[in-house]
Amino acid sequence: MNQPDSGDDGLFDHCPWLYAEQASGRQRAAQEQRQKRLLGGAEAGAGAASVRLGEGCFVAETAAVYPEHLSLGDRSYIAAHAYVTGDIRTGADCTINPFTVVRGTVTLGNGVRIGAHSSLLAFNHGTSPDLPVHQQPVTSAGITVGDDVWIGSHVVVVDGVTIGDHCVIGAGAVVTKDLPAWTVAAGNPARRIRDRREPREAGRRKGVSGGAVSGGVAPELSEFANSARAQAADLLDRCWQPGTGRYVDRPGAEPTVRAHCDAVEIAALLLGQAPPQLPAAEHAARLRALQDPVTGLVPEFAAAPPVPGPAGLPEDGASAYHVLCVGYALDVLGSSLAHPVHTVRATTPEQLVGHLAELPWPDRAWHAGAWVDSWATAAHWNLRLGTEAAAPGALEALFGWLHTHADPWTGMWGSPTSESGRLQMVNGYYRLTRGSFAQFGLPVPYAERVIDTVLDHARDPRHFSPGRENACNVLDVIHPLWLCARQTTHRGEEARSWASAQLTAALRRWHPGRGFPFGPTPDGTGPGREPGLQGTEMWLAIVWLLADLVGLADVLGYRPRGIHRPEPARPAEGMA
């Protein structure tokens, strides 16, 4: 409503929260003209800027607003002398207060309040010694801020940072690293003080151990596990095809071997029994019958027997993963593969080492790590069947090669890439160590360096900003953190803080009666955002690993038994 004209046009520039209730008709008309100039691109040159202003927005006359793109959500404002450039997108009820600088690619959720004199600087200069600083190239990874965040006065947030939902950043902080949801942080560099949900007294009493964060999610964790168990039978029935006698990952998809194995693991986890669509013995018989007796490999339904590679296994594809999922589904059912994996059983140390050297470690470390996972798992099943794992000395050659080729700076195999950063390297590390060191009960080399690498990767907004996480990427961070925590306490507080935030986010992904979606994938293929068996099987294991790292796994009342089992499948002495 219009109020009497106070004549003080600077009032609302500096106190824009008063505008809606106190502005006069003349002052509202002036604001309308201000917004029209922005919408018309007048300040940046006609047509240069793309601007969208929601209902009830306010932009101070004295604010320097020169964006490439500006999208203000409803009831948001930019106050006096703010400096705004680049690609800025906000949700509803966001405030950029006086003298604040917001530059580069910055995305704010709903209800983000930025105090006066703060700076969100989503760009950086290079620092190589061959050029003066003013000639260095400019890079921009972007800044992402979640919903319901309060950033105090004189705070600086640097490029590449993600601030989770419900965070509070104390005045004068310099935020250089990602902050999980519900974090109260302060200092230079900003560090976690407590979880916003815990009382201040508890935060001072418990320090920053993460115990209060863990305790806060316990009731929700218990409720989730109880709901998942109650819905498990319907979830499995949804993906069962009575006509074919097979499982699909999700309605509308084609039946796959993996879907049957995922159903077995989900049922074992949540129901403590085989999937109710068939007796346990029938499940085992159908899976055993899939194995090709000549190679020992398992093809996809109706596919020709797989063609083994130079060291016994294809480099990737369904048949390589079936070594894991069929073998462990049978193990969960109290059965085993019908035949040894003959192609691995015949592998010599020379063949193995030669092939390891030829795997695509520099740019496809995930594929290389997945091959090692499948080969080592095949060797494990061969030992379980009472035969040789491979030719004499081959299994020892595997671990010798891995130890001598791990990078002491990262603890990993492979290298970062310009396209995806550390993604291939970290994801390949999980697959490799799952089938080798973890499965055989051996310590990993350079555990502290692995934790450093994984925590750095977990801050990459290309893979871990809101809406981008998927089951593979989260699993491939939590498993190395969980595994290395068995050997060292290095950066344990940070690892637990990350796990706590991810645990809260993971529980929100459950779809009643349908399970978990896998999550978005860069190429849009795969299970994606539709709930299905693969996403459910993986996220149930992820939730357990996250909960175990923060000391709450017992609340769930389940423990992974198959591919993601926490115990070694074979003690180290079993290699002989």
pLDDT in tens, 175-197: 999 999 999 988 888 888 888 87
Q: What is the pLDDT of residues 237-260, one digit of tens each?
A: 999 999 999 999 999 999 999 999
CATH topology of domain 211-575: Glycosyltransferase (1.50.10)
Catalytic-labelled residue, pool 125, 260, 339, 463: 125
Q: What is the mean pLDDT of residues 331-346?
A: 96
Residue 67 has what pLDDT? 93
Query: What pLDDT is recorded for position 570?
Result: 66
Calculate the average pLDDT of the chain: 89
What pLDDT score does 113 carry? 95
Which H, E and C letters describe 486-525, residue by residue? CCCCCCHHHHHHHHHHHHHHHHCCCECCCECECCCCCCCC
Tell me what the mean pLDDT of segment 408-416 comes to.
Answer: 95
- Angstrom distance (rounded) from CA 514 to CA 197: 30
Same topology for domains 10-196 and 211-575, yes or no? no
Q: pLDDT tier at 336 (50, 70, 90 boundaries)?
A: very high
Residue ranges covered by each domain of the chain: 10-196, 211-575
Q: Is 125 a catalytic residue?
A: yes
| Peptide bond preceding 392 in cis form (omega within 30 of 0) | no
Please write the tens of the pLDDT for every residue from 353-393. Answer: 999 999 999 999 999 999 999 999 999 999 999 999 999 99
pLDDT digits (tens, 9 = 90+) for 437-450: 999 999 999 999 99
Q: With helix as H, strand as E and coil as C, how does 231-277 read?
A: HHHHHHHHCEECCCCEEECCCCCCECHHHHHHHHHHHHHHCCCCCCC
10 has a pLDDT exceeding 50: yes
- pTM for the model: 0.65
> For 10-196, CATH number?
2.160.10.10
End-to-end Cα, the chain, rounded Å: 83
% the chain with pLDDT above 70: 91
Q: Given this model, what pLDDT does residue 341 score? A: 96
Q: Is the pLDDT of residue 4 over 70?
A: no
In this prediction, residue 199 carries a pLDDT of 55
What integer pLDDT is reported at residue 315 of this predicted model?
Answer: 67
Q: What is the pLDDT of residue 135?
A: 80
pLDDT tens-digit map of 513-562: 999 999 876 555 555 678 999 999 999 999 999 999 998 998 899 999 89
